[in-house]
Amino acid sequence: MRNARPHQSAFDPATKDPALAADAPVAQAIDKVVLLMVSGLSEQAVAGACQQKLGMTPAKAKAAIRRARKLITLAADYNRDEQIGKAVVRLEDLYSRSLRVQDTKTALAAQRELNKLLDLYRPPGRADDADGDAEGQAGPLEWPLVAGQKKSKEIA
C-alpha cells in the first residue's frame, strides 16, 4: 500500500502549507474555501468567512485562500481526452436509461448531444487544418441541388 495514512481529500493541503499543517479537518475547510471563492466572493469576504464561520486565524485564512487558489488553477488544467471519454460514457448511459423507461425525447436529446460531441455532423472528407478551423468552411452545411432546381435567395 503506497499511502498508509487514513483517507483524506484528494488535495491534502496540510502537506503543502505549514500554516495549515496542525489542523485535522483542513481538507474539508479548504474545500469550503474553494466553494466560497468560486461563488464570486472577494478575497476579503472569503478571509472574513474563514475567520468567522470556520474559526481560522488570519494567518490560517490567508494560507487556506492561497491553497484554494492553487486548487482552482489545477482544476482548470484538465485532460481533454479523459473529459470527452467521460462525457461519451455519461451520454450513452443517459441514452440507454431513457430508452429503458421509454423516454424517447430524452434519448433523442442525448443522442444529439453525443453526435455534436463526436462531431458527427461534419461532412465526411472535411479535415481540420492545423489551426483547428475547417479549411474553406464558409458557413452552414449546404445541401446539393436536385436536378432542375434553382438556388433560391437567402432570406434576410
Q: Does residue 68 fall inside a structural domain?
A: yes
Instruction: Give how many domains the chain has, as a whole number.
Output: 2
Domain hosting residue 89, numbered range: 80-117
Q: What is the pTM of this model?
A: 0.45
| Residue 33 and residue 64 in one domain | yes
Q: Does residue 112 fall inside a structural domain?
A: yes
pLDDT at 49 over 60: yes
Q: What is the pLDDT of residue 7?
A: 36
Domain final residue, candidates 26, 60, 76? 76
Q: Dihedrals φ, ψ of 150, to 5°?
A: -90, 145
pLDDT tens digits for range 80-105? 899 999 999 999 999 999 999 999 99
Burial 76-109 (b: 16+ CB within 10 A, else e): eeeeeeeeeeeeeeebeebbeebeeeeeeeebee
| Residue 70 and residue 84 in one domain | no
| Residue 65 and residue 96 in one domain | no
Q: Dihedrals φ, ψ of 128, to 5°?
A: -75, 145
| Residue 59 and residue 29 in one domain | yes
